[in-house]
Structure 1
Amino acid sequence: MIIRNNQATRAEYPSGLRAIMNMEQAEESRDWLSCWPMLSRGATPVWQLPGLARRLGVARISLKDESERSSLGSFKALGAPIALVRLILREKNGLPLSPKGLLLGRHADVLRDFTVISATDGNHGRALAAAAKDIGCRCVIVLHRNVSVEREQAIAAYGADIVRIEGDYDASVVAAAEHAAEHGWHVVSDTSYEGYETVPRDVMQGYGTIAAELLAQESVGYKATSPYSHVFLQGGVGGLAAGVVSYLWERFGAQRPAFIVVEPVQADCLFQSAIQGAPARATGSVDSVMAGLACGETSPLAWRFLAPAVDFFQTVTDDEAVAAMRLLAEGNAEDIPVVGGESGVAGLAGLLALSEDAELRGQVGLDASSSILLVNTEGATAPSIYASLIGGPAEAVLERQRAWLLGKRAT
């Protein structure tokens, strides 16, 4: 399903939003992260998929591949560490701490009694645990009933203490806030709620790194027009979309690309927000194979950026996501095989669904001149689940990817 967002405008980036998130702070975050040992050196690749573009009748499909961002396996490695660094700098502002020094563990001696806590579906908690370990503070992660043991073990491997609850993701957010209040800990959440916006803002600002890096890779000049006509982004609580949308909107103003945000049909909080014109709850079970997007409530702060900028909100089924995973993993003579995780392929699943319906293509403005940007937000962050869904391990896909690249170099 897809819905046009009647609140979306084609105006310049508002000064009120720029005061909250802006390109300057996104670039600062990018600079700080450049020293963190957990991140890969250099930019994540932007793969071109000419075979798929021809099949779907568009000019170009580019895939920014965040599965290669870090051994953590997802884009979340950009948000949690930046939010943690900025939190510590605020809380310890009387001490001579440097952002890069924190990420390199040079101030661990003054942070042994500093504890952070967060709820997670998996990737955010893993990134926060890794950042806390390197910085030298304690980390507690709250997991709900649908988070797999495999994801729990990946988080615990970085030294985080795990708290399990019986409820869903939204219940785990409440539980994290309650534990923090009881013990004097600090919440580092990627979703906002009443009275809690500064840290989620910092998380989203970290995600702006993706857009900043992408435009540098595309050699887009300051006064150039957008190289993309359409950008498909994952939903969830809205944090990733807000981080990327805000950067591209500020950069290109009224000439920004069309934004389409995609989420699971059973976790449709953003879709419902578009219907109601305000942050809303999902109408489904919220239990989805797209675990990172299985969120029941829209982040109010993220919605402030999405409401005036996202042109369409779309839902996809689990089956459509799995089909997109398999398509990426298979590759072909023209298109490189890619490990796209369950949540990572949501944008591709949305594009495929739209392309099969002539009426929807026209509604969204997809035609032979369209240049599409997709973001693969994660790799096989739960390897056994990934293997069961595509019929083989991620390592086999990566082996095909290496062979494909060698073949291209040989020609």
Structure 2
Amino acid sequence: MPSPHLIPRRVAAQVNAALADTRVVLISGARQAGKSTLVRVVAGDRPAERRDLDRAQDRAAAIADPIGFVDSAELLAIDEIQRAPELLLAIKAAVDEDPRPGRFLLTGSSRLFGLVAAPDALPGRMETVELWPFSQGELDGEPDGFIDAVFALGPELRHESAVTRADYAARIVRGGLPEATSRGDVRRRQRFLDAYVQALIDRDVRQLSDIQRKGELRKLVRLLAARSATIIAANSLETALGLSRPTIARYLQALEEIFLVKRIPGWSRNLGTRATAAPKLVFVDSGIAAGEIAVDGRALLRPGAPFGPLLESFVLSELSRQLTWSEQQAELSHYRDHSKFEVDAVLENRSGQVVGIEVKAASTVGPDDFRGLRRLAERLGDDFVCGVVLYTGGSTLPFGDRLRAMPVSALWQVGPSDVLTAAAPGLEVRGAQ
């Protein structure tokens, strides 16, 4: 595997496009996801200045003289902007006075608009680009084009795969954080992930929220990892942790703001219902989730291991990554109705077209695995593009009108070439091997 620092990032094109027409561009994402490396790549040959607010001297200068700190005739790149939110008003004043595009390139490891101390944070002047840990396609040099392909081809999409259950398990526990993927030794990788989570709690969470009891927060992280890709019921967390519901809500908000977890909202055509539906929770990096419950790739394959929930969380996070660069502008949610019909992932584009996705850890599937997808198809009619059960087998199989079983690896192994191949009469669409 090549060095993580040399792996091209798919969102680089979005950052370059934003710098061409927007005054301030923010690259937001988890710590050590590769934001600083991406800034160096994007800045390239541009005349640019660089400052890092994780350095005490830079942070002190920013706090002492915000206006002077951001005074630059060239592109100014500022890492970890959440460390000195006082700069935001100075940046706003600078870009209002000189509205040229590409003035500032910021990075942040916390959701900027969630910062307690953030003032009027550049409305209409800034574009945010999310950077996730490496996707499987970035790590493997594959196209990462499933979302665009499935909306373009629907049930005509085909994919064959040689990826085994053991390989899927290994991918889950490896995750995508650059430092973790560069460590071949399992124990060394686990030590990094343990220290990573603890550092987030010790530094970033306490910066964002008045949380004093770090032990409770670490216990919550482990509990969430054990319930990955499930609907989080506040009352069950109250019982398990002995904390009040407002306290748990505050902790969850902090974990989401530092990009450790992500909530997947419930789907409904009724916007009011969608806003109040219970979300699912997934970890931004599957390696962290696996590490928090102390399972390795071999252990995941044993009977009774949480392979299914971690695989679903892995798939949901890969879809989330892909939505940051796909041509299709779609939203990711999950479906559950009062009759307990469920669909793990619902992708709805701006035209109201929907792709439903179920995730199964088994290497075989049957008609019952499509129960929720059939219900979704009945509700949506012609707006239902197709329903896919992603499983750990190797072939694409039909299960009725617009319903297919497909290998999980389709997520990263299909791409634009598959769409072009399908457009050629008489040719079968297959993903890269």
The question of a shared fold, defined as TM-score above 0.5 by the shorter chain, is answered with no
RCO (CA 8 Å, sep 6+): is it higher in 1 or 2? 1
- TM-score for the superposition, normalised by structure 1: 0.28
Please give the TM-score of this superposition, normalised by the length of structure 2. 0.27
